[in-house]
Amino acid sequence: MTSLQVLADSTNQHLENLSSFYAQHILPYVKGRSSKTYIAAAIAALFSYRVYKMVHVPKNLRHIPAVPFWPYMTSVLSGEGIDIRARKVILPVLAKSPNGLYLRPNQRGWSVGVAAPSAMKTLFLRIGDYPKDQKLLRNQHSLAFKFIGSQNIVALNGPVWKKHRMIANPAFHRSMPVKLFGRLSEKMMLQFEKEGDGLENVDVPNFLQRFTLDIIGLAAFGYDFEALEKPGNEKVNAYEDILTGVRNPLHFFFPILDRRFLWAMPKRRELHTKLGDMNNVFNNIIENKRQTLATLKGSIEDAEKDLLTLMLEANEESNDADHRLSNSELRSDLVVFFVAGHDTTSNALSFALYYLAVNPHIQEKARKEVIDILGDGNDVVHPTSTQCTEMKYLYMIIKETLRMSPPAQNSSPREGAEDIELAGSLIPKGTVLNADIFVMQHNPAIWKNPETFYPERFAPGAESESKAGTGLAWVPFGNGPRQCIGMNFSLAEQKVLLSMLLRKFTWELPENSINKDGLVLNGGISIISPRDLHLKFTPRF
């Protein structure tokens, strides 16, 4: 059956359901009334039908336990953190699931949340059976589509995705730009003292957002956002506003707002204009770089090359034109690196600083390791790649942070390619599935005392390794062929900054912190971030 036929069939089905709903529930009330009443009734019917479709679990999925619709949606739309939603709404349902699968609402009905190591492994490794769901990116009017397009490394499947990955892989497998990480870490530490209340009350997520944005801009294509030195400048604000707009849960659940109701939302319209301007900036950078590369061929040192330069080189080296990326594909990939690499790493770092603040003995143990490797003294030291590899305990801290607070709470959605069995449950063709990273990593049936921050569970031979045979229980970067391409980049960035901070400062929560009785998370359905995390730093020299 062609996809056109499938679409026609499903449209017919919807129309049939809609007309029978209309005849049964609406028509009896409007017979003999004015045409306005008919129109209002038709709109009411359409709306009620959509709500009905969203609320009711379809028959072919009823064998999988579902979260209660209204409590789940209330939690999402009220901005509650995923930790609260997981505890109140999801984990109780999951406790009744025999295989770690559960249902939750999404934009187009219901999707399967995958939250057990064995099913997780299948989902991540069998990319042919569970390709990325591309429907969300077909809405050409949405801000997300205009920002990252559909031809990018995260969204694509099959041979076209492979082409993108092959061009990008070499750029991420060379040695990491640790000098850049060290330089910007030092800049950020100096900036701590210059702003607001100085070291007494540092707005940690704000600094880290600026730090990781400057890094990804420079590392990706030599573009300096100047976020650390000139906070709130136009370039930074435009980027942040667009990203917030893309992730707005209301627009995520109701994409029709961008498609049909933009005229009624001047602020949203403004975002679309800002996005157009930013896309032009990125396009110009790519074109200029292509031309510079042609003139300077061979004269740029490898260590100084940014990701775009390395991707352009890989493009050039490919003999087959079908294996090269166009300017617009390159732009989409670079924007993806921004979106996927900036907030994720900055939140991972904020969380690590929080866990170290509330666990002073762990902070002290990490500091000892860092000083053993980098030496003590009154000067700022930038770690090398080799020294980063030696920081074993710091790595355990980073892993435990990413277990407790994985910045990407879900994988991107997959779609069952055929009717298929996953962990003993039938998944009908076309069903949307998500790896529920946060929930699995907090499930007491999988991790011992999951709410306790305990880096030692990642020591050789300890709890984490003992799970190897059961599937994938730790997946903050995903796994399999589509594992995060920027994982090592982010880990190196985290190790450089954390080790430099540990050497230079000790830190704790200020007395009045809202996080005193436990970490408070912002709401949202994609990236998790801490709310109002301020820290008090004390210099060691």
Report the SS3 class of residue 135.
helix
Question: Considering only residues 411, 431, 464, 529, which one is a binding residue for ligand HEM as defined by CB under 6 A?
Answer: 411
Counting contacts by CB under 6 A, is residue 495 touching ligand HEM?
no
Closest by Cα among 500, 539, 499, 535 to 393: 499
CB-neighbour burial class of residue 139 (10 A; exposed 0-12, middle 13-18, buried 19+)? middle
Degrees (nearest 5) of the Cα angle 115, 119, 120? Answer: 65
Q: Distances in Å between the alpha carbon of 123 and those of 109, 423, 441?
A: 20, 10, 16
Minimum CB–partner distance for residue 297 and ligand HEM (Å): 25
Site for ligand HEM in 142-171 (CB under 6 A): 153-154, 165
Q: Distances in Å between the alpha carbon of 114 and those of 60, 319, 447?
A: 17, 41, 16
The separation between CA 254 and the C-alpha centre of its own chain, rounded to angstroms, equals 20
Counting contacts by CB under 6 A, is residue 341 touching ligand HEM?
yes
Counting contacts by CB under 6 A, is residue 336 touching ligand HEM?
yes
Which stretch of DSSP H or E encloses residue 114? strand 109-114
Instruction: Count the helices and strands in the chain (H runs, E runs).
Output: 23, 9
Counting contacts by CB under 6 A, is residue 408 touching ligand HEM?
yes
List the beta bridge partners of residue 536: 508
Residue 7 carries which side chain, given as an amino acid letter?
L
Q: Which is nearer to ligand HEM, 442 or 482 (CB)?
A: 482
Beta-carbon count within 10 A of 488 CB: 14
Counting contacts by CB under 6 A, is residue 90 touching ligand HEM?
no
The separation between CA 314 and the C-alpha centre of its own chain, rounded to angstroms, equals 27
Q: Which residue is nearest to ligand HEM (CB)?
A: 486
Q: Which is nearer to ligand HEM, 285 or 381 (CB)?
A: 285
Counting contacts by CB under 6 A, is residue 412 touching ligand HEM?
yes
Q: Which is nearer to ligand HEM, 381 or 397 (CB)?
A: 397
Q: Which is nearer to ligand HEM, 271 or 492 (CB)?
A: 492
Where does this chain touch ligand HEM (CB under 6 A) — which range of 297-305, 459-467, 480-488, 530-538?
A: 480-488
Counting contacts by CB under 6 A, is residue 81 touching ligand HEM?
no
Q: Which is nearer to ligand HEM, 85 or 482 (CB)?
A: 482
Tokens 């594909």 belong to 329
Q: Which is nearer to ligand HEM, 346 or 513 (CB)?
A: 346
Counting contacts by CB under 6 A, is residue 477 touching ligand HEM?
yes
Counting contacts by CB under 6 A, is residue 531 touching ligand HEM?
no
Counting contacts by CB under 6 A, is residue 337 touching ligand HEM?
yes
Cα–Cα distance for residue pair 58/398, rounded to 1 Å: 41
Counting contacts by CB under 6 A, is residue 486 touching ligand HEM?
yes
Helix, strand, coil shares of the chain, percent, nearest 5, are: 60, 10, 30
Counting contacts by CB under 6 A, is residue 176 touching ligand HEM?
no
Which stretch of DSSP H or E encloses residue 538? strand 534-539
Q: Which is nearer to ligand HEM, 369 or 493 (CB)?
A: 493
484 is in an annotated binding site: yes
Question: Considering only residues 490, 499, 513, 529, which one is a binding residue for ligand HEM as defined by CB under 6 A?
Answer: 490
What dihedral do alpha carbons 57, 60, 65, 68 form, nearest 10°?
Answer: 0
What dihedral do alpha carbons 275, 281, 285, 286 form, nearest 10°?
Answer: 40
Question: Considering only residues 344, 401, 431, 513, which one is a binding residue for ligand HEM as defined by CB under 6 A?
Answer: 344
Residues 487 and 337: beta-carbon distance below 8 Å:
no
Cα–Cα distance for residue pair 193/205, rounded to 1 Å: 15
Minimum CB–partner distance for residue 397 and ligand HEM (Å): 13
Q: Which is nearer to ligand HEM, 309 or 345 (CB)?
A: 345
Question: Considering only residues 478, 523, 524, 530, which one is a binding residue for ligand HEM as defined by CB under 6 A?
Answer: 478
Counting contacts by CB under 6 A, is residue 113 touching ligand HEM?
no
Where does this chain touch ligand HEM (CB under 6 A) — which range of 102-110, 176-184, 374-382, 471-479?
A: 471-479
Residue ranges of the binding site for heme = 484
Interface ranges with ligand HEM (CB under 6 A): 153-154, 165, 336-337, 340-341, 344-345, 348, 407-408, 411-412, 476-478, 482, 484-486, 489-490
